[in-house]
Chains A and B, each alone.
Chain A
Amino acid sequence: LAKTTQPISMDSYEGQEVNITCSHNNIATNDYITWYQQFPSQGPRFIIQGYKTKVTNEVASLFIPADRKSSTLSLPRVSLSDTAVYYCLVGDIPGTYKYIFGTGTRLKVLA
């Protein structure tokens, strides 16, 4: 199972673009990269998932280089309500449905 490494915390200001990078050097061929967002007192919420290149949805973009050893979650024009913990997950142990969360990145958006 590929281990992920993310920055522990980041600060940003409202209106800025925020990029959170996740390292996953041992990613397996079949692994997808999935990002979750967790607000205080809530469960994690799926944001975006990708396999390679770029994926965009109404919430975020996910950039994955050709070697797939890292990925970057991009949040455009953040607002105070984007203050949350962001987790990067890579695949699972095949057949076990064992998804392991890392420490996540605590994003604080300042006014």
Chain B
Amino acid sequence: DTAVSQTPKYLVTQMGNDKSIKCEQNLGHDTMYWYKQDSKKFLKIMFSYNNKELIINETVPNRFSPKSPDKAHLNLHINSLELGDSAVYFCASSPLGSNSPLHFGNGTRLTVT
């Protein structure tokens, strides 16, 4: 059973296009996140949602719009893709409360050409 699943695993697209990445967790967690890992392998938090409500928007361009239809899903929509958006995007979830361990998906490798 996959706890945190993301689709697609790979995404290759051209500059200017709009794309979405889907994320679902079956752990019953209240909090979900999107992280971006660049070519230097730095993991940077982008968004966190708690029970469908946005908690953190970490200075991400407004071309990125997360959407949480329910607490088990957090999708990421990206408009007008740019070369610099190429990275691996990880979805994660955690139980409510500070210090709760994060459970990550296996990532979506986005390549913008």
Contact = CB atoms under 8 A, between A and B. Distances in A.
Contact of B55 (A34, A49, A97, A100): A97
Contact of A32 (B35, B45, B99): B99
A103 interface: yes
B90 interface: yes
Interface of B: 4, 31, 33, 35, 41-45, 48, 50, 55-56, 58, 90, 92, 94, 98-99, 101-107
B99 A91 contact: yes
Contacts, number: 62
CB-based closest 8 A-B pairs? A43-B104, A32-B99, A101-B43, A46-B101, A97-B48, A43-B90, A44-B104, A97-B31
Interface in A72-91: 85, 87, 91
Contact of B98 (A46, A92, A100, A103): A92
Interface residues of A, number: 26
Nearest to B92: A43
Given A46-B102, A87-B43, A97-B55, 13 more contacts: A31-B99, A32-B99, A36-B102, A41-B107, A43-B104, A44-B43, A46-B101, A85-B41, A91-B99, A98-B48, A99-B45, A101-B44, A104-B41
B58 to A, nearest CB: 7
24 contacts: A30-B98, A31-B99, A32-B99, A34-B99, A34-B101, A41-B106, A42-B106, A43-B107, A45-B104, A46-B101, A46-B102, A46-B103, A92-B99, A96-B55, A97-B33, A97-B50, A97-B94, A97-B98, A98-B45, A98-B48, A99-B33, A99-B45, A101-B43, A101-B44
Nearest to B90: A43
Nearest to A49: B101
A52 to B, nearest CB: 13
Contact of A44 (B31, B55, B99, B102): B102
Contacts of B45: 98-101
